[in-house]
Structures are given as structure tokens and as C-alpha cells.
């Protein structure tokens, strides 16, 4: 079974620039999550989709972050404009409706300079 | 709000000794408790999980215990080996149509050879 695919693996941008991350979940997984993991901390949920609808975006900084999951499969997370404190690993995860089989992607390490 | 406290934040043990990591959750609706191992630069990987209708689960050298009354759950690793060195995250999850995960802050385990 293919895993959760994310790209790019690494990204370095200057503050105030824009960046986008892409996630392709495991086939058939209805739920998709985006997490921000700052060095030394646990993953913090940014947004959760079920199919193509948003379930929870309460911790998404909506003034600069946006995400979409068109057609209920792939998802993109965008930051515009980036700040220094956005430097982190952005993890995508997916799971079936049952919640078991929750799988993380390899993440995108973002460095904002 | 919902949160998961995890202790200790760092743990060093001698090879062959046991390691115990403890988590406490706040949301009594939580009914699924996975543990993840994250090696440096890699994605978190599920190592063991337990549902709320079970008090203990064991898989070779790792075991998880759950005390629903106290809202505590713990990870036990016996006969630790250097390759057990990693960051371990607990999570508490509940279903409200779709599963929502709250992660602990992580424990950095170092097994000394």
C-alpha cells in the first residue's frame, strides 16, 4: 500500500514570500489532516478535512494560511505571506473513517529566513 | 480546551533497562490512544495503540496501559536497545463523525549503550 505522499521535502523562503505544500493521502482515506510541528514539540493540528469538507480549522491562522482539498483527494496548504515563526515541519496525515490506520507523510521542512 | 500532557520530556536509560512514558488526557470522550515513534528527520510511525474498552495491550517489548477513570495511559518499553532512541508521542483521539487526534508534547528517549 502506498503511503501518504508529500512534496516538497524541503523549502527555504524569505519572510513575506509565499509557499505551497502538497499532500496525496492513502487511497480511500476519507480524512486528511495538516499538522505543524515546531522543533521539539508535538504535532499541532492546523486543519482537518473529511472528503472535501473542512471539519476543524480552529487553529489555522486564517490571515495567512489557507488549505483546500478539491475532489476529496489531494490537498494543498498555502502560507502567504510567511513569517519567521512559520519555520517548522508541515505534516500531512490521512485515515479512514474508523480512525485506525492513521498514517503520516514524511513532511515538508520549511525554513523562513 | 482539550489537551494531552506527556511526561517526562526527556528520558535517558541504560541499555537493557525499562522506560516508561506517561500521558494524561482531558477529554473524557477520548476512546482511542495511539503511540508514535519519531526518529530524527523521519515521520511519526505508529508503534502501538489501545482502545478505551481495553486496559492493557502488549506487543513484544512494548506495552500500553490505560486507566480511564484517572484519564492516564502509559507506554512501557522493556529491555531497551539503542535503536529505541527516538521521540515518542502519545495521542488521545475521539470520534465525532470523524476522528480528532490531540498529541502530547513528546518524550525524547535516549538509550545509552
Quote the mean pLDDT of chain B: 93
CB pairs under 8 A between A and B: 54
pLDDT in tens, chain A (113 residues): 568 999 999 999 999 999 999 999 999 898 999 999 998 888 999 999 998 899 999 999 999 999 999 888 999 999 999 999 999 999 999 988 776 678 999 999 999 99
CB under 8 Å to B58, separation ≥6 — which residues? none
Find the CB nearest B103 among A42, A95, A100: A42
> What is the per-residue DSSP string for B23-42?
EEE--TT--EEEEEEE-TTS
Interface with chain A: mutation pick from B2, B23, B41, B43, highest number of A CBs within 10 Å = B43
E-state strands within chain B:
4-7, 10-14, 19-25, 32-38, 45-51, 56-59, 62-67, 72-77, 86-95, 99-103, 107-112
| Band of residue B53 on the pLDDT scale cut at 50, 70, 90 | confident
User: Do residues A42 and B106 touch, judged by C-beta distance below 8 A?
Assistant: yes
Q: Residue A97: what pLDDT?
A: 75
CA-nearest residue to A5 within chain B is: B43
Closest-CA residue to B5 (of A42, A74, A69)? A42
Q: Residue A94: what pLDDT?
A: 93
CB under 8 Å to B63, separation ≥6 — which residues? B48, B56, B57, B75, B76, B78
pLDDT digits (tens, 9 = 90+) for B74-108: 999 999 999 999 999 999 998 777 788 889 999 99
Closest-CA residue to A25 (of A45, A50, A53, A42)? A50
Q: How far is the alpha carbon of B15 from chain A, nearest alpha carbon, in Å?
A: 24
Length of chain A: 113
Does the CB of A50 have a partner CB in chain B at under 8 Å? yes
Does the CB of A44 have a partner CB in chain B at under 8 Å? yes
CA–CA gap between residue B13 and residue B15 (Å, rounded): 6
- Cell for A57? 480549522
Length of chain B: 113
Q: How far is the alpha carbon of B1 from chain A, nearest alpha carbon, in Å?
A: 12
Q: Residue A1: what pLDDT?
A: 53
Q: Flag if B95 and A99 touch (Cβ within 8 Å).
A: yes
Interface with chain B: mutation pick from A99, A100, A105, A109, highest number of B CBs within 10 Å = A99
Q: How far is CA B82 from CA A89, B17, B35, B39, B41, in A?
A: 25, 11, 19, 12, 17
User: Do residues B91 and B80 touch, judged by C-beta distance below 8 A?
Assistant: no
| Band of residue B41 on the pLDDT scale cut at 50, 70, 90 | confident
Q: How far is the alpha carbon of B34 from chain A, nearest alpha carbon, in Å?
A: 9
- Cell for A15? 519572510
Find the CB nearest B34 among A91, A102, A106: A102
Average pLDDT of the segment spanning B2-25: 96
Amino acid at each position: 500500500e502506498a503511503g501518504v505522499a508529500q512534496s516538497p521535502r524541503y523549502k527555504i523562503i524569505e519572510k513575506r514570500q509565499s509557499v505551497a505544500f502538497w499532500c496525496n493521502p492513502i487511497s480511500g482515506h476519507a480524512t486528511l489532516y495538516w499538522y505543524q510541528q515546531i522543533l521539539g514539540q508535538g504535532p499541532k493540528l492546523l486543519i482537518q478535512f473529511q472528503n472535501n469538507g473542512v471539519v476543524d480549522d480552529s487553529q489555522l491562522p486564517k490571515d495567512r494560511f489557507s488549505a483546500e482539498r478539491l475532489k476529496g483527494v489531494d490537498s494543498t496548504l498555502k502560507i502567504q505571506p510567511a513569517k519567521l515563526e512559520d519555520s517548522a515541519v508541515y505534516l500531512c496525515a490521512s485515515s479512514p473513517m474508523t480512525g485506525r490506520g492513521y498514517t503520516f507523510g514524511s513532511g515538508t521542512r520549511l525554513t523562513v529566513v | 480546551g482539550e489537551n494531552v500532557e506527556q511526561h517526562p520530556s526527556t528520558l535517558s536509560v541504560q541499555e537493557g533497562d525499562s522506560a516508561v512514558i506517561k500521558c494524561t488526557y482531558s477529554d473524557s470522550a477520548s476512546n482511542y490512544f495511539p503511540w508514535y515513534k519519531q526518529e530524527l528527520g523521519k515521520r511519526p510511525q505508529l508503534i502501538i495503540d489501545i482502545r478505551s474498552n481495553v486496559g492493557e495491550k502488549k506487543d513484544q517489548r512494548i506495552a500500553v496501559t490505560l486507566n480511564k477513570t484517572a484519564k492516564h495511559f502509559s507506554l512501557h518499553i522493556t529491555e531497551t536497545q539503542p535503536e529505541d532512541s527516538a521521540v515518542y508521542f502519545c495521542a488521545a483521539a475521539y470520534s465525532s463523525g470523524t476522528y480528532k487526534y490531540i498529541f502530547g508534547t513528546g518524550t525524547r528517549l535516549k538509550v545509552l549503550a
